[in-house]
A and B are shown apart, each in its own frame.
Chain A
Amino acid sequence: MALLYASGIGLLTAAGIWLMLRTRSFDAVLGLTLLSYAVNLFVFAMGRLHVAAAPLLRDPSLEPALANYADPLPQALVLTAIVISFGMTAVLLALAVRSRIDSGDDHVDGDAP
């Protein structure tokens, strides 16, 4: 399970970085999106992987400890990170559109070298 999860993160990272290094703004945004998936999965992994142990404390007989529930802290961090990365994607897309309109080109440096 760990190998599967970790290799997935690695693959998403590699694909994200390669796309991010392209010269067109839209490709770079897609790359960044893939990279942020990888980063979110990575941060999430810091709480380790738990199946069927959502941190919903419904059963009073169950002691509220990490033995019985998944770690809620990385989940809270990732949740807000997802929302923030949406904001970032939106800004980058708007920048890409604006840059295209202003310069007539969608090269990330504003104009082709």
Chain B
Amino acid sequence: MSLALAVALPFLAALLLFALPNRARNLTATVAGAATLLTLALLAVNLPAVLAGQVVSIDWAWLPFAGADFGFRADGLALVFALLVAAIGALVILYARYYLAVEDPIARFYAFFLTFMGAMLGLVLAGNLLLLAVFWELTSLASFLLIGYWQHRADARQGARMALLVTGAGGLCLLGGVLLLGSMAGSFDLDVVLASGAQIRAHPAYLPMLVLVLLGAFTKSAQFPLHFWLPHAMAAPTPVSAYLHSATMVKAGVFLLARLHPAIAGTDAWFYLVTGTGLATLLVGAWTAVWQHDLKGLLAWSTISHLGLITLLLGLDTPLASVAAVFHILNHATFKASLFMAAGIIDHECGTRDMRRINGLWKYMPVTTVLAIVAAAAMAGVPLLNGFLSKEMFFAETLQISSHPFMRLAVPIIATLAAGFSVAYSVRFIHDVFWNGKPHDLPRNPHEPPFWMMVPAGLLALLCLLVGVLPSTTVGALLAVAAGPVVGGPLPEYSLAIWHGLNLPLLMSALALAAGAAFYFSLQRIDRLHEHVHLPRGAKEVFDALLGAVLGGARFFTLKVVNGHLHRYLTFAVLATFVAVGLPWLGRGGFVPDVDAALPAPLAIVLWLLGCSGALGALVWHRQRFVATLFVGLTGLVVSLVFALLSAPDVALTQLLVEVASVLLAMLSLHFLPKLSPPEPGFARRAADAAIAGITGCGIGALAYAVLVRPPDASIAPWFLANAIPGAAGQNAVNVIIVDFRGLDTLGEVAVLGIAALLVALLLAQVTGAQAPSRRTADGGGGGDDSGAPATGDPRPLMLETVGPVLLPLAAVLAIWFFIRGHNDPGGGFIGGLTLALGMLVPFIGRGIDWVESRVRLQLQRWIGVGLAFATLSGIASFVVGHPFLTSHYFEGELPLLGKSSLASAMFFDLGVFVAVAGATLLALTTIGRMERR
């Protein structure tokens, strides 16, 4: 439990920090520091158990069907890493309090920082591969925020974006690798995965999995050639760099390699990929670091080089190399954090990080000088400091390669060479900054920083010294317990001593120290190092070119496709549908001949002729809009008759009513639109459209035919038929499906209709009378004329005016009758609602909208709301009797006048539908009419 709390605490503190004001510098630092120390304590509680060899874990089911548990797990490696993350985090928080300027939003800084720390802790403590991948992405996101903290600086924004793209892409690779890995091991649980190494290595998909996981690890730990984002990430505030480069972010990459080592290492592919990458990174990083004039640039490239060293060690794949790797992870974290803090102090006090300008600083800041010397000497691998010990082990291991002839020779030589460069840049860091003449043209007067700014760097430097002098007493136990899970078996024999006698590794160390120092001084004296401008080229240019190509491609595609012309979108949509429907047909057999070869009934032929002539009429006379509308209406009526003939009375009634409403609506809107469509120029385009329409029509027709001549597949329909009466007490199976079995769908559909009606009202409500074109001059740029029958000034239709008062009650009765019988006979809420709406429309047409509205306030918007609320409430009522939403209940009894009825609770639902549909339909119809009045 303490593990879960330790991960959660930084996130909670981050939330709190977001709420704090930026001017409360001490308060925010205290909150952040206290949260981190508490986290550290929560982690340390588990230390005794872990030191005793136990694995502490806690698990909650998260997505059981996907094999993803939400659980944390602390073995030696995870706990030591987590302690490192929290401890260095605490020191950086203290340091940042003094580093950040007054104008920097400090609360935001700490909030981002703690988010990042929480993500990193979750990553190292995750007990499940999927959870690990989630936290992995979270570290990428949080580091993006931290690197881009100085939002006003372009280099910060670009560096943050680059880091996010590279590590985010790596994270996607890792996710793929993790999914493969989990399927190979049969579980995403880390314990299972770590125990199934043999099974994983023997799996045919081992190599793709390995490459994906390594891509994830290498992008994160800035391995060559994916290293280029790290130097750009130093645009972050220096405390962030100190953290990213020491205990977190880049270390997440090598942590992953160490974590999965027992499961995926141990093959030639692993050896060549990991060792080779590490070797290249080690050399490129060390060489480039020597030439950096920027203090942080030197340190950034040195980080790349040291991560290459750790990767190389893990690639060597011997137990002792794994121990050395873990040891160097810890050592590098201490001295690199300390060095970045020193660099930050220098930057802070001098106003620049350019080593060509800051020289001779030891006179101005002697304490900082001492701290920096200790840490830099540890980085160079000078005896009596921690860096020496792990580097010694590293040299010894490079000499142990036995089976790969080329690597056997190359690795020790390149390792010594890179160590020499490492000494050279370390010496440069000391000599160039603190000696080598006098400072010139500094923006500020250098002096010692505030005391508390030196404390974190001092503590870390002290640690370097302590570990270097008394290795086995200080870190012996921690190292053993942390290295155990990486080795994956019994620990090898090793002794953490300074003196192992005169041997080859010691000779390599001595050679590197001497040659490295000589190399630096000769560069400085003879070659005039300060005049060299060595800008590493290649990777970043490729990255920028790729990014540019992607963005340019997207822009080109977008401009070509989304060009603002509906015609093009619809063409794409139609063609895409055609292709999607047509593709599965390729390679299929031909048509089965019509099963009922008998001639269709004469009535069917008549209907076919009528319906098709309606569609063709609309096509031919489409420019004369009234005529076209009537033709479309004719087709709609035929469609409703087709439904009636083909055993669908409910559908037929609905279609009929909707048809009437649609035609009325179209007629009403024609008052505000040109009555004529202007002739379209371009025969070619119309012909192309005709081709698209023709081929699509043929395709859909053929598809429909192919379905109709085949016997139906097994369907869920029989269930609805069989359960309509026993389950819902309704004889009308269609209505039962709508109001009962699929009631939730219906609720959604009625809501859509209500929203549509409200949208119509909103769209047209804001139009004022002045804006609305007069009906008599309803001719804009469209080129139409007013050949349609003008309505204004017409006497009100006598028939409607006379019949209206009689028709309305009749329509209302009919609507209610439709509604009540709906459960057993054709009818129901939809049909009833539509009938009522159309009946109520009669007085609007007969008497005019003013006449109606002066007598009754309808407030149709409320009808929609009330109807929906009623339908929803009737569904919620099921909860009261302990059933799921919208479960139906019913009772039977005698109703006056209507005879024996079975009253189902679904009827209340249907009543909601009835009211909402009536309101929505009438609202849509009357809104356009209302416009005329203004």
Seen from chain A, the residues whose Cβ lies within 8 Å of a Cβ on chain B are: 1-30, 33-34, 37-38, 40-42, 44-58, 64-66, 69-73, 75-76, 78-80, 82-91, 93-98, 100-101, 104-109, 112-113
Main secondary structure of the interface of A (DSSP, over half): helix
Min C-beta distance of A61 to chain B, whole Å? 13
B665 touches A93 (CB 8 A): yes
A56 touches B825 (CB 8 A): yes
A54, closest chain B residue (CB)? B647
B716 touches A58 (CB 8 A): no
* Residues of chain B contacted by A12 (CB below 8 angstroms): 611-612, 615, 635, 697
Cα A28 to Cα B566 in complex, Å, equals: 10
Interface residues of B in 707-754 (CB under 8 A from A): 707-709, 712, 715-718, 720-722, 724-725, 731-734, 736-738, 742, 745-746, 749, 752-753
B884 at interface (Cβ–Cβ under 8 A)? Answer: no
B618 at interface (Cβ–Cβ under 8 A)? Answer: yes
Cα A37 to Cα B658 in complex, Å, equals: 12
Min C-beta distance of B647 to chain A, whole Å? 4
A89 touches B646 (CB 8 A): no
Interface residues of B in 618-635 (CB under 8 A from A): 618-619, 622, 625, 628-629, 632, 635
B143 at interface (Cβ–Cβ under 8 A)? Answer: no
| Number of chain B residues whose Cβ lies closer than 8 Å to a Cβ of chain A | 119
Interface centre among B594, B615, B661 (most CB of A within 10 A): B615
* Residues of chain A contacted by B612 (CB below 8 angstroms): 8, 11-12
B636 at interface (Cβ–Cβ under 8 A)? Answer: yes
A3, closest chain B residue (CB)? B594
B595 touches A27 (CB 8 A): no
Min C-beta distance of A5 to chain B, whole Å? 6
Interface centre among B704, B721, B834 (most CB of A within 10 A): B704
Interface residues of B in 690-704 (CB under 8 A from A): 690, 692-694, 696-704
Contact partner of A80 among B674, B746, B773, CB < 8 A? B746
B782 at interface (Cβ–Cβ under 8 A)? Answer: yes
Contact partner of B615 among A20, A27, A34, A87, CB < 8 A? A34
Contact partner of B700 among A42, A58, A80, A90, CB < 8 A? A42
Main secondary structure of the interface of B (DSSP, over half): helix
Interface residues of B in 735-788 (CB under 8 A from A): 736-738, 742, 745-746, 749, 752-753, 755-757, 759-760, 763-764, 767, 771-773, 780-782
Min C-beta distance of B166 to chain A, whole Å? 41
* Residues of chain A contacted by B715 (CB below 8 angstroms): 66, 71, 73
A14 touches B694 (CB 8 A): yes
B619 touches A19 (CB 8 A): yes
B921 touches A86 (CB 8 A): yes
Cα A94 to Cα B760 in complex, Å, equals: 6
Min C-beta distance of A2 to chain B, whole Å? 4
* Residues of chain A contacted by B678 (CB below 8 angstroms): 24
Q: A23-B680, A80-B749, A87-B753 are in contact. Are A72 and B672 (CB under 8 A)?
A: no
Cα A80 to Cα B831 in complex, Å, equals: 11
B725 touches A64 (CB 8 A): yes
Min C-beta distance of A32 to chain B, whole Å? 10
Contacts A72-B717, A79-B734, A86-B658 known; list 7 others, CB within 8 Å.
A9-B700, A11-B701, A15-B618, A16-B693, A54-B647, A76-B734, A97-B928
Interface residues of B in 588-620 (CB under 8 A from A): 594-596, 600, 604-605, 608, 611-612, 615-616, 618-619
When A and B form their complex, which 4 residue pairs have the shortest distance between CB atoms, in order from nearest?
Answer: A10-B701, A14-B697, A87-B756, A6-B705
A29 touches B666 (CB 8 A): yes
B669 touches A48 (CB 8 A): no
Q: A15-B615, A24-B782, A97-B928 are in contact. Are A33 and B632 (CB under 8 A)?
A: yes
Min C-beta distance of A106 to chain B, whole Å? 5
* Residues of chain B contacted by A30 (CB below 8 angstroms): 618, 622, 628-629, 632, 666
B780 touches A83 (CB 8 A): no
B868 at interface (Cβ–Cβ under 8 A)? Answer: no
B780 touches A50 (CB 8 A): no
* Residues of chain B contacted by A66 (CB below 8 angstroms): 712, 715, 717-718, 721
B635 touches A37 (CB 8 A): yes
Binds A, one of B172-180, B415-423, B637-645: B637-645
B152 at interface (Cβ–Cβ under 8 A)? Answer: no
Contact partner of B658 among A10, A22, A82, CB < 8 A? A82
B709, closest chain A residue (CB)? A2
Interface residues of B in 634-692 (CB under 8 A from A): 635-636, 639, 642-643, 645-651, 654-655, 658, 661-662, 665-666, 669-670, 672-674, 677-678, 680, 689-690, 692
Interface residues of B in 900-934 (CB under 8 A from A): 917, 920-921, 924, 927-928, 931
A23, closest chain B residue (CB)? B680
A98 touches B721 (CB 8 A): no
A76, closest chain B residue (CB)? B737
Cα A54 to Cα B651 in complex, Å, equals: 11
Cα A25 to Cα B564 in complex, Å, equals: 15
Cα A40 to Cα B643 in complex, Å, equals: 10
Seen from chain B, the residues whose Cβ lies within 8 Å of a Cβ on chain A are: 564-567, 570-571, 574, 594-596, 600, 604-605, 608, 611-612, 615-616, 618-619, 622, 625, 628-629, 632, 635-636, 639, 642-643, 645-651, 654-655, 658, 661-662, 665-666, 669-670, 672-674, 677-678, 680, 689-690, 692-694, 696-705, 707-709, 712, 715-718, 720-722, 724-725, 731-734, 736-738, 742, 745-746, 749, 752-753, 755-757, 759-760, 763-764, 767, 771-773, 780-782, 824-826, 830, 834, 917, 920-921, 924, 927-928, 931
Would you list 13 pairs from A and B whose C-beta atoms are within 8 A, ordered by A residue? Answer: A8-B612, A11-B701, A12-B635, A13-B693, A55-B732, A66-B715, A66-B721, A71-B712, A73-B737, A86-B658, A87-B920, A97-B669, A104-B780
Cα A5 to Cα B604 in complex, Å, equals: 9
* Residues of chain A contacted by B698 (CB below 8 angstroms): 10, 14
Inter-chain CB contacts under 8 Å: number? 331
A53 touches B764 (CB 8 A): no
Min C-beta distance of B873 to chain A, whole Å? 21
Cα A46 to Cα B841 in complex, Å, equals: 35
A55, closest chain B residue (CB)? B733
* Residues of chain A contacted by B632 (CB below 8 angstroms): 30, 33-34
Cα A106 to Cα B674 in complex, Å, equals: 8
Cα A73 to Cα B704 in complex, Å, equals: 17
* Residues of chain B contacted by A4 (CB below 8 angstroms): 600, 604-605, 608
* Residues of chain A contacted by B826 (CB below 8 angstroms): 54, 56
Cα A10 to Cα B704 in complex, Å, equals: 8
Cα A76 to Cα B567 in complex, Å, equals: 33
Q: A21-B692, A70-B647 are in contact. Are A55 and B920 (CB under 8 A)?
A: no
A40 touches B639 (CB 8 A): yes
Cα A46 to Cα B646 in complex, Å, equals: 13
Q: A80-B738, A82-B655 are in contact. Are A96 and B692 (CB under 8 A)?
A: no
Min C-beta distance of A28 to chain B, whole Å? 7
A98 touches B712 (CB 8 A): no
* Residues of chain B contacted by A98 (CB below 8 angstroms): 763-764, 767
Contact partner of B773 among A29, A58, A82, A101, CB < 8 A? A101
A7, closest chain B residue (CB)? B701
Q: A96-B673, A98-B764 are in contact. Are A57 and B725 (CB under 8 A)?
A: yes
Q: A10-B698, A89-B665 are in contact. Are A47 and B712 (CB under 8 A)?
A: yes
Contact partner of A37 among B639, B924, B928, CB < 8 A? B639
* Residues of chain B contacted by A50 (CB below 8 angstroms): 646-647
Cα A47 to Cα B725 in complex, Å, equals: 21
* Residues of chain A contacted by B834 (CB below 8 angstroms): 83
Q: A82-B651, A87-B757 are in contact. Are A26 and B781 (CB under 8 A)?
A: no
* Residues of chain A contacted by B697 (CB below 8 angstroms): 10-15, 17
* Residues of chain B contacted by A69 (CB below 8 angstroms): 647, 721, 733
A17 touches B693 (CB 8 A): yes
A64 touches B782 (CB 8 A): no
B622 touches A19 (CB 8 A): yes
A21 touches B571 (CB 8 A): yes
* Residues of chain A contacted by B658 (CB below 8 angstroms): 82-83, 85-86
* Residues of chain A contacted by B927 (CB below 8 angstroms): 94
A72 touches B737 (CB 8 A): yes
